[in-house]
Copies of this chain bind each other. A is one copy, B any other.
Amino acid sequence: MVDNRKILGVIGGLGPIATAHFMELVINMTDVQTDQQHLPMIVYNMPFIPDRTAYILDNTKEDPLPKMLEIGHALQEQGADCIAVPCVTAHYFMDALEKRIHVPLINGVRETVAHLKENGIRKVGIMATDGTVRSGIFHKELEKQGLLPIAPSANAQKDVMHLIFNNVKAGKPAEMDRFLSAAGDLRRQGAEVIILGCTELSLIKRDEKIGAGFVDAMEVLARQSVLACHKPLKKEYECLITK
């Protein structure tokens, strides 16, 4: 299977629809004319990986790391040149994965923060699940790169959770008044750009008009996957902050 083409490995299924959406993003961002020029991927869409949020909030629950490592090693053996994990919450395990998989991992959290920094942003709001906010994944990375993280107030965080669980995950339309209210809370605290740090929020971005000043972590991961595999990027994806 291995030749001069770079192959993207994907630890997927977290959840399964997010993986298919991520693949579409990668394909749509790649600036090529024929099927044959597109980026080859090997995708392990393995939804049985134990729940990441459950483990992060309660370490006595089943650890998803062993299964993620097993998949990472399978991708490595199959010739993947770099590996993406299209799930923000799973980035909690990224350091542990990087230590034990001998193929470069594309870190969607680190790349999102780097993308904001490159674009001169300093104050960054975070919209994500309680699990992601509590684990501090984005907070730590923003601070590490010298940017200022801004979390939603308790009420705004409740709106974000409602959008993720009671709207998108439940297959219902997003209540955009709640979305705009949570975003407004972050803007009032000074957020120049707001990170959509959860697949369900990426789907709201895909389906609704959300306006300027957002960046979707899943899009940054897809963009970086295209670049890491030496494929040409469509011009309109050079900056991913919505205008």
Chain A residues engaging chain B, CB cutoff 8 angstroms: 1, 5, 13-17, 19-20, 23-24, 27, 35-51, 70-71, 74, 78
Contacts and interface: CB of A to CB of B under 8 A. Distances in A.
Copies of this polypeptide in the complex: 2
A140 B51 CA distance: 47
A37 to B, nearest CB: 7
Nearest to A38: B47
A62 to B, nearest CB: 10
Nearest to A18: B35
Given A42-B45, A45-B42, A35 B16 contact: yes
A44 B47 contact: no
A78 B70 CA distance: 12
Contacts of A39: 16, 47
A78 B75 CA distance: 10
Contacts of A71: 1
A39 B35 CA distance: 27
A35 B19 contact: no
A30 B42 CA distance: 22
A48 B36 contact: yes
